Copies of this chain bind each other. A is one copy, B any other.
Amino acid sequence: MNTAATPSIVPRPAPQPLLDALAARFGAQCSTALAVREQHGRDESPFDAPPPAAVVFCDSTLDVADAVKLCAAHDYPVIAWGAGSSLEGQLLAVRGGVVLDLTRMNRVLDIATGDLLATVQAGVTRKQLNDELRHTGLFFPIDPGADATLGGMTATRASGTNAVRYGTMRENVLALTVVLADGRVLRTGTRARKSSAGYDLTRLFVGSEGTLAIITEVTLRLYPQPEAVAAAICSFPDVASAVDCTIAIMQSGVPIARCELMDANAVRAVNAHDHLGLPESPLLLMEFHGSPSGVREQAQTVQALAQDFRGSDFAWADTPEERSRLWAARHHAYLSALQTKPGCRCVTTDTCVPISKLAQSINATVEEAQAAGLPYFIVGHVGDGNYHIGYLIDPAKPEERELAERLNAQLVRRALALGGTCSGEHGIGLHKQDFLREEAGDDAIDLMRAIKHALDPRGLFNPGKIFV
């Protein structure tokens, strides 16, 4: 099994007639400048690949369709681009390619307050959507940390801190506009909350990482802003106690809105980065949504459970400002951790296990990381059984990356043996193809390949990703 971090790169220059045709159709919207291509040739993964042949800044679904048609006419790959925040190498042009940058497609097309839904262009980011929703009394809950685009979040089936209560992109995308591999524009789904009308094409595109279609518009479910919100921090003597408490919370049925773990290393890092004074031991960062009395009741139930697991008294973040500061710190954990070891890069894992197996999974992971002696930190959407361990490696020492990848492989194999998945929310990209095969099996990969072939027979959409 290849757990090495080096992607298989088959560089392929673009045919000059394609570049000419793109320039003719798109003018200044199309760039072949090296700086622009290089900027679109890397993501947040630790992988390196040659830059794409060109970048087209699309303003509309029509632009996307035309660019796809031109690339198809010249049999050349196409990669869709949002915020560039992919973590598993999803955006790298490992087979060459033209990148379609969708960030100019940043219009919120429709906010239907009565139906609790919004339609956005793919380049709208989650923060932008919530800013535009602020005065409607509604919000969009999915929060993967990065201010990703909603097109990108759809393509990777993103989730994050609120998923334990509100679900993932799988549950919250109602309808899509996509461009198919021959340039046709297709709408899937409707504005109805549910449907039994035919194959679930929407769900097929959610999580397909740009390999089946290019998502240009997304219709999303919205939620009423909760009447009351309370955030609390609860410290624990060790990671195992925090995890056991999480299991008890989930099994109790309390509709907790966020339930995040940070280990002592992660807490130390965010204390330093965000000038917080959090107690430097493992903690759960929780949020409760509901009516004022409902929130009180949820918090009381969880505080009582926490005491059973030697949790501290809750420290409350009462004001929106305090809550924002705390969640910002949580979201900075990755960056904060990188700063604890100057010049380091981070190998991140993303397993998700059934909640009853969470303690077993995390405890063994902590033991292995400590025994290996690599600096690490753990953050997790533990209410969902999903956590990330980041190993901080010196890029100049290949043996450190190798060690981190070996630890990662052990962790993933254990998660699979426990009934879990190799990716809770980051996707497969380049990095987890072997894990996917191990998880899903050869027959499932064959079937995915058959679907890919049915939709994109010439393999032009983001080739080399998910499976090869």
A167 to B168, CA, bound (A): 13
Are B188's CB and A157's CB within 8 A?
no
A427 at interface by CB-CB < 8 Å: yes
Supplied contacts A115-B356, A180-B443, 11 more A-B pairs, CB within 8 Å: A186-B447, A191-B353, A192-B420, A192-B421, A196-B350, A196-B426, A197-B428, A198-B467, A204-B451, A224-B251, A291-B294
Are B447's CB and A201's CB within 8 A?
yes
Q: How many residues of A contact B (CB 8 A)?
A: 91
A171 to B453, CA, bound (A): 27
Task: Give me the interface of A with B, judged by CB distance under 8 Å.
Answer: 112-117, 156-159, 163, 167-168, 170-171, 180, 184, 186-188, 190-201, 203-204, 206-208, 212, 223-224, 226, 247, 250-253, 255, 290-291, 293-294, 297, 350, 352-357, 384-386, 416, 419-428, 432, 435-436, 439-441, 443-445, 447-448, 450-451, 453-455, 466-467
Chain B positions within 8 Å of A386 at CB level: 192-194
A294 to B454, CA, bound (A): 50
Min distance, Cβ A355 to any Cβ of chain B, angstroms: 6
Provide 23 A-B residue pairs closer than 8 Å at the C-beta atoms, listed in order of the A residue.
Answer: A114-B354, A114-B355, A115-B354, A115-B355, A159-B194, A188-B440, A190-B420, A191-B420, A192-B352, A192-B354, A193-B354, A194-B425, A195-B423, A196-B426, A198-B467, A199-B212, A200-B203, A201-B444, A203-B204, A224-B252, A294-B294, A294-B297, A454-B454
How many monomers of this protein are in the complex? 2
Choose one: B171, B207, B255; the contact of A196 (CB below 8 Å): B207
Chain B positions within 8 Å of A436 at CB level: 197-198
Are B419's CB and A191's CB within 8 A?
yes
Are A450's CB and B444's CB within 8 A?
no
Are A192's CB and B385's CB within 8 A?
yes
